[in-house]
């Protein structure tokens, strides 16, 4: 049986929205704000921005080159350029997709729940107790399953008919909401404390290795790097795309939304005098402190909070789609399955894998740490070595762009990026191990 021709994006803009949709998600709002709070505010932000440009961007371009150049899903793309011995790395990528989506969908389920209950019932003033109810047990499980079903439905409809269409409608809406909320937050009395906290750098923090680890993990998570998501999306691109330009646009949009989300979260928390809650932040910070703020704002809070959580749902959905697509593309390419079968079978398996994370936020936090600190940073390290040293003439696959930039890119991939990621992994591995041990 001849296989059908490979799917393609219907426009460059469509690809861009889908790729930005993958990057912009819970990472930009939930993860970025709690890590910023936990790691001392602005110093973390500066470090995260630096790592995004110097380490993340070169790896992003490497993924785009591998995908577009091979027109294949991750496992086969690696084999295409490096031979069969590189296939296991592709399996690791697919495993990372499984793992990340399994808990990502649980958090996405919380956001759906908050969006619905915030708009229709109002936010619960006893936000801490409410979070405990929402974030564990059957409640979390139910919304996790519902969210996975939505993701499966969209991915099953195909690259241009499902993924691209969804992103083209939802991403502009997300931008509008987040920018609107940042402007609104600026009008609140007392918001200035939030800006000060967010933007005044305490560079002393930079001596703490934990801050480096968190910033590196966040840069990779937020750009969807190190597990083949960007690679897979780029595999549906035509020859004529200017990859460096796409990479820069994706990175600008990603850090832009993360930064603006901070301009929503911190001023709002300070305006309502909840800053002491931020200090004791955990994975739940965004889901406890902010809803408390929304509850105190009364009717306005319902509107503002509702919009905030709708933006989170949108971001989560377009990112979850890209995670599932890595696995589904592999099922189509590697196993010869139909898209629909791959989406349903793998999507269901991922939903089941997420059950422990739905049951306990401690488990969820630990899985998140393993996924980021080990899988994504390790994946990024392997990708930089692959494109920097193994692949012959990756510059030719890039196409346009100046020779100087290409030389800088290649050398970053050869030396700076692997050294940096190796260094971070060196101390991320033992501390992640400790987290896992503490769980049992
Ligand atoms: N980048 C997404 C976010 O910030 C998460 C993600 C990670 C998506 C890895 C795909 C791959 O929410």
The Cα 122–Cα 298 span in angstroms is 8
Residues of the chain with pLDDT under 70: 1-4, 276-285, 400-401
Instruction: Please answer whether residues 9 and 236 qualify as being in contact, where contact means their C-beta atoms are separated by less than 8 angstroms.
Output: yes
CA atoms within 13 A on the CB side of 428: 26
The Cα 122–Cα 134 span in angstroms is 15
The Cα 354–Cα 108 span in angstroms is 12
Give start and end residues of each alpha helix (H) in 24-126.
26, 32-38, 42-51, 57-70, 74-82, 87-121
Q: Ligand 1 centre and the CA of 241: distance in Å?
A: 23
Atom of ligand 1 nearest to the CA of 319: 8
Position 3 in a domain: no
Q: Ligand 1 centre and the CA of 415: distance in Å?
A: 26
* CATH number of the domain encompassing residue 203: 1.10.4160
Q: Angle, nearest 10°, between helix axes 298-335 and 74-82?
A: 50
Instruction: Please answer whether residues 248 and 406 qualify as being in contact, where contact means their C-beta atoms are separated by less than 8 angstroms.
Output: no
Q: Which of 6, 340, 25 is nearest to 167 (CA)?
A: 25
pLDDT at residue 401, as a whole number: 67
Position 5 in a domain: no
The Cα 230–Cα 367 span in angstroms is 22
The Cα 179–Cα 160 span in angstroms is 27
Atom of ligand 1 nearest to the CA of 223: 1
Token couple for 32: 């970025």
Q: Which of 137, 165, 203, 437 is nearest to 317 (CA)?
A: 165
pTM of the predicted structure, to 2 decimals: 0.96
Instruction: Please answer whether residues 122 and 302 qualify as being in contact, where contact means their C-beta atoms are separated by less than 8 angstroms.
Output: yes
Position 1 in a domain: no
Atom of ligand 1 nearest to the CA of 28: 4
Q: Ligand 1 centre and the CA of 25: distance in Å?
A: 6
Total domains in the fold of the chain: 1
- The residue whose C-alpha atom lies closest to atom 9 belonging to ligand 1 is 224
pLDDT at residue 1, as a whole number: 47
Instruction: Please answer whether residues 205 and 39 qualify as being in contact, where contact means their C-beta atoms are separated by less than 8 angstroms.
Output: yes
- The residue whose C-alpha atom lies closest to atom 11 belonging to ligand 1 is 224
The Cα 346–Cα 73 span in angstroms is 15
The Cα 219–Cα 341 span in angstroms is 33
Q: Ligand 1 centre and the CA of 224: distance in Å?
A: 4
* Residue of 18, 19, 20, 25 to test ligand 1 pocket, by largest number of atoms within 8 Å of CB: 25
Angle in degrees, CA 52, 65, 72, rounded to 5: 120
pLDDT at residue 283, as a whole number: 64
The Cα 180–Cα 310 span in angstroms is 13
Token couple for 231: 């690679």
Within 6 Å (CB) of ligand 1, which residues are found? 22-23, 25-28, 100, 221-222, 224, 227, 229, 319, 322-323
Token couple for 161: 């008919």
Helix/strand number for the chain, H first, E second: 24, 0
Domain hosting 301: range is: 13-439
pLDDT at residue 277, as a whole number: 64
Position 8 in a domain: no
Angle in degrees, CA 116, 121, 123, rounded to 5: 85
Position 339 in a domain: yes
Q: Which of 309, 292, 295, 358 is nearest to 116 (CA)?
A: 309
273 conformational bin, left if phi > 0, alpha if psi -120 to 50, beta if neither:
left
Position 235 in a domain: yes
Q: Which of 393, 347, 130, 34 is nearest to 121 (CA)?
A: 130
pLDDT at residue 400, as a whole number: 67
The Cα 69–Cα 81 span in angstroms is 9
pLDDT at residue 276, as a whole number: 67
pLDDT at residue 3, as a whole number: 61
Position 318 in a domain: yes
Position 79 in a domain: yes
pLDDT at residue 403, as a whole number: 82
pLDDT at residue 4, as a whole number: 67
The Cα 399–Cα 65 span in angstroms is 9
pLDDT in tens, 49-91: 999 999 999 999 999 999 999 999 999 999 999 999 999 999 9
């Amino acid at each position: 049986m001849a296989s059908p021709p490979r799917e393609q994006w219907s426009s460059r803009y469509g690809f861009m929205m889908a790729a930005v949709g993958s990057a912009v998600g819970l990472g930009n709002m939930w993860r970025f704000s709690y890590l910023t709070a936990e790691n001392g505010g602005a110093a973390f932000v500066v470090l995260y921005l630096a790592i995004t440009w110097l380490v993340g961007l070169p790896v992003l371009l490497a993924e785009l080159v591998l995908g577009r150049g091979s027109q294949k899903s991750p496992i086969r793309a690696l084999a295409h350029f490096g031979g069969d011995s590189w296939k296991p790395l592709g399996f690791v990528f697919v495993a990372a997709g499984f793992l990340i989506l399994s808990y990502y969908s649980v958090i996405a389920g919380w956001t759906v729940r908050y969006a619905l209950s915030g708009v229709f019932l109002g936010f619960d003033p006893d936000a801490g107790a409410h979070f405990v109810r929402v974030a564990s047990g059957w409640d979390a499980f139910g919304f996790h399953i519902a969210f996975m079903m939505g993701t499966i439905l969209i991915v099953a409809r195909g690259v241009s008919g499902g993924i691209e269409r969804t992103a083209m409608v939802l991403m502009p809406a997300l931008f509008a909401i987040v920018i609107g909320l940042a402007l609104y937050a600026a009008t609140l009395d007392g918001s200035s404390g939030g800006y000060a906290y967010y933007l005044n750098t305490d560079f002393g923090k930079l001596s703490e290795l934990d801050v480096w680890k968190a910033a590196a993990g966040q840069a990779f998570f937020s750009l969807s790097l190190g597990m083949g998501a960007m690679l897979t999306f780029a595999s549906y691109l035509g020859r004529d795309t200017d990859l460096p330009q796409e990479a820069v646009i994706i990175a600008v949009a990603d850090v832009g939304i993360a930064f603006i989300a901070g301009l929503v979260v911190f001023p709002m928390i300070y305006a309502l005098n909840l800053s002491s809650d931020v200090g004791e932040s955990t994975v739940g910070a965004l889901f406890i402190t902010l809803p408390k703020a929304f509850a105190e704002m009364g009717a306005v809070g319902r509107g503002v909070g509702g919009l905030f959580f709708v933006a989170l749902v949108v971001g989560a959905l377009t990112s979850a789609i890209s995670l599932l697509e890595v696995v589904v593309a592999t099922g189509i390419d590697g196993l010869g399955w139909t898209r629909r079968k791959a989406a349903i079978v793998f999507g269901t398996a991922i939903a089941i894998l997420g059950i422990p994370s739905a049951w306990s936020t401690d488990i969820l936090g630990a899985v998140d740490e393993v996924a980021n600190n080990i899988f994504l940073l390790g994946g990024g390290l392997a990708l930089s070595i692959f494109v920097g040293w193994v692949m012959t003439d990756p510059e030719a696959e890039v196409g346009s762009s100046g020779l100087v930039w290409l030389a800088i890119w290649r050398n970053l991939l050869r030396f700076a990026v692997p050294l940096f990621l190796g260094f971070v992994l060196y101390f991320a591995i033992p501390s992640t191990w400790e987290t896992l041990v503490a769980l049992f």
